[in-house]
Structure 1
Amino acid sequence: MRIYRAKDYEEMSRKAANLIAAQVIMKPDCVLGLATGTTPVGTYRQLVEGYEKGDLDFSAVKTVNLDEYKGLSPENNQSYRYFMNENLFRHVNICLENTNVPNGLAEDAEAECARYNQVIRDLGGIDLQLLGLGVNGHIGFNEPDDAFAKETHLVTLTQSTIDANSRLFDRIEDVPHYAFTMGIRSIMQARKILVVANGENKADIIKKAFFGPVTPQVPASILQMHPDVILVGDEAALGKI
């Protein structure tokens, strides 16, 4: 694992975007695994700037997102499809047919999970997977558990995750309690994994995840077993390592 220390959020975002940009330049038809949340917003902003300068071409890129809330339509401004459209997709020359997010409105959860697993297989796997890191160690919506979930599944969100996400909703009662998420095995099969983290509230979990025991109680700890992981964090997030 490689760790890149950034002085602040902006530098963290720039370093992460440079790594993703390098992947796109080296393999124009690459498959990017994408994440949502507040942490990667700056990274996406940097990628948009790269495209606007003429340095990046997303026309052949394909994407698969980690997760989506169950019950939210793509038009809902809190859905992850909406997030991706607003923060990246509609600002670059990517073909929307080449972007994939779980269907939050799927009535048959098991069938939707199987469909999404097949999407990833049909794409030939993920070249670079971008991850954020939850304060409880979740990656995607793989929450602390007694075992590592393997492939796409429907998860019941923990109260800590609901609380953390409530800042994005008008009321905590509006935060969905279920989500579709890519599983640990799907994430671990990515050829390269890029983790971004900022803020001192991530310092404890970074120490546990990357320097503690590998355990499903800290889902991100499994990343210690991957051969090509890069962690980019600001000084506050990396303050305890």
Structure 2
Amino acid sequence: MTRMKKICTICMTIFLTFIANVVGGEQLIVRHAVGGKADALELYEQYWYQSLGDKLIVLRNKTGEQVASVMLTPFQAASSCKDMVIYDQFLYVLLESGEVVVLDLVRSDMPSVATRTNLNDLGVSPTQLVLVDEVPFAIGKGGAVRLTDNSLLLTCDTYVTGLNRTTAQGYVYCSGGNIMDADTDEVLGVAETIVALDEDANADIGASVYTRSLGGQ
């Protein structure tokens, strides 16, 4: 038997053994997991905060050097980061489980977990975090919550997909494809989401931009 035939025979034996073990198995058990999907990114001072599954990775924004890794969940693989925003030296993180984790950025190179607020205490089932007048809110199924004091801004039976504060109407939100007045629930227009324009934009103070679906067109 030539050397090549021997190699092929050994490889085939290993392959068949592996297939036999897989076919005969009744369950799969995760032995180890590394990393995860990177879903959110924020910049603060000279650092770059990148979510990676259940961890927050801290990198130097100029070199990309990793300086710290912080667990966002009470134990490994309990959930993963879905969204995050920064407000007043705090990093607000939304987990897939609906929990909101607040990290203190006093030491920007090593954020520390300050508080955790679970789904029941929030009063809504959040799908994203937004900044309105630079204040963080969690929005999603059931309404919107101001995260600085965990107070309910509004409640509804559907999903809130956008939130903003206007000079004419006060708080407005998007739900079910409509723009709604947060105080009266009056329908003000049609949109999937709405956000305030940046202060540097060439537009009137308090101007907003919104998006709406055109049925796939």
Q: TM-score, normalised by structure 1?
A: 0.22
Q: TM-score, normalised by structure 2?
A: 0.24
Q: Which has the higher helix share?
A: 1
Looking at CA atoms only, which structure, 1 or 2, has the larger radius of gyration? 2
Q: Which has the higher strand share?
A: 2
